[in-house]
């Protein structure tokens, strides 16, 4: 059962969220809910609601894992990544849909780390713990196919560390990296198909 996190008991978590909201001028009130899950994770449910799992809340409130998850979910809200906002994505072919998900996730990681003022050390620490606890694969082909723990197509934690430490926003260079890396590891060879997917992704993100 989802339960709202008490402002007093979880004051440090709300304080961190408020600092981030101030940084990006987001003035809507966001409530944080606790949900049961086998994973250390979170979710952006609406513009005013973020979930954190029981396993995430085992960490101290100011722990990099908690900060990283919160920042990631706030970035999803700011980028209009909520499920109901992206129904149209379902009309694309499977490879475009996977790439959209991979790029949405790397964007939330890159921009979240920036909004959350996470240090390189905190990024490393959070991603290493999440990778181990959630049993995320380090194999690109598996990650891109959606065989990455509980996730759909997703960047690997190694890629998340790399790009989050070097970027503050999603750039065309990052997008191109993932498009080309996806083609290589999923073995998409046909140039007409490649161009169509690439154009879909550019239209979606640029």
Q: How many Å apart are CA 40 and CA 52, to the nearest integer? A: 8
Q: 147 or 188: whose CB is closer to Zn ion?
A: 147
How many residues sit in the footprint of Zn ion (CB under 5 A)? Answer: 2
In the complex, the smallest distance separating the C-beta of residue 191 from Zn ion, rounded to whole angstroms, is 31
Tokens for 154?
């997703």
Residue 52: strand pairing partners: 34, 42
In the complex, the smallest distance separating the C-beta of residue 102 from Zn ion, rounded to whole angstroms, is 11
Q: 34 or 43: whose CB is closer to Zn ion?
A: 43
Tokens for 9?
């008991």
Q: 150 or 184: whose CB is closer to Zn ion?
A: 150
Q: 41 or 122: whose CB is closer to Zn ion?
A: 41
Q: 108 or 196: whose CB is closer to Zn ion?
A: 108
| CA–CA distances in Å: residue 10 to residues 7, 25, 106, 125, 172 | 5, 22, 28, 22, 38
In the complex, the smallest distance separating the C-beta of residue 108 from Zn ion, rounded to whole angstroms, is 5
Site string for Zn ion, 11-50 (x = CB under 5 A): ----------------------------------------
**Rama region for 149: left / alpha / beta (φ>0; ψ in -120 to 50; rest):** left
Site string for Zn ion, 106-145 (x = CB under 5 A): --x-------------------------------------
- Residues sharing a CB contact under 8 Å with residue 27, sequence separation 6 or more, in sequence order: 21
Q: At what angle do helices 120-133 and 157-166 cross, to 10 degrees?
A: 170
Q: 100 or 191: whose CB is closer to Zn ion?
A: 100
DSSP string, 9-35: TTHHHHHHHHHHHHHTT--S--EEEEE
Site string for Zn ion, 84-113 (x = CB under 5 A): ---------------------x--x-----
Give the interface with Zn ion as residue ranges (CB under 5 A): 105, 108
């Amino acid at each position: 059962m989802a339960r709202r996190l008490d402002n007093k008991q979880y004051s440090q978590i709300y304080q961190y969220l408020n600092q981030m909201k101030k940084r990006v001028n987001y003035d809507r009130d966001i409530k944080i809910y606790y949900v049961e899950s086998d994973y250390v994770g979170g979710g952006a449910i609406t513009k005013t609601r973020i979930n954190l799992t029981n396993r995430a809340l085992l960490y101290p409130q100011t722990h990099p894992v908690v900060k990283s998850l919160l920042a990631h979910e706030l970035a999803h809200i700011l980028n209009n990544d909520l499920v109901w906002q992206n129904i149209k994505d379902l009309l694309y072919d499977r490879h475009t849909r996977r790439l959209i998900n991979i790029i949405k996730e790397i964007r939330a990681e890159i921009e979240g780390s920036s909004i959350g003022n996470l240090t390189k050390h905190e990024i490393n620490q959070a991603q290493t713990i999440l990778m181990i606890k959630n049993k995320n694969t380090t194999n690109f082909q598996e990650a891109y196919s959606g065989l990455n723990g509980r996730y759909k197509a997703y960047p690997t934690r190694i890629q998340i560390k790399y790009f989050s430490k070097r970027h503050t926003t999603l750039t065309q260079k990052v997008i191109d990296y993932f498009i080309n890396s996806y083609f290589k590891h999923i073995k998409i060879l046909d140039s007409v198909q490649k161009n169509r997917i690439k154009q879909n992704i550019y239209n979606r993100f640029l």
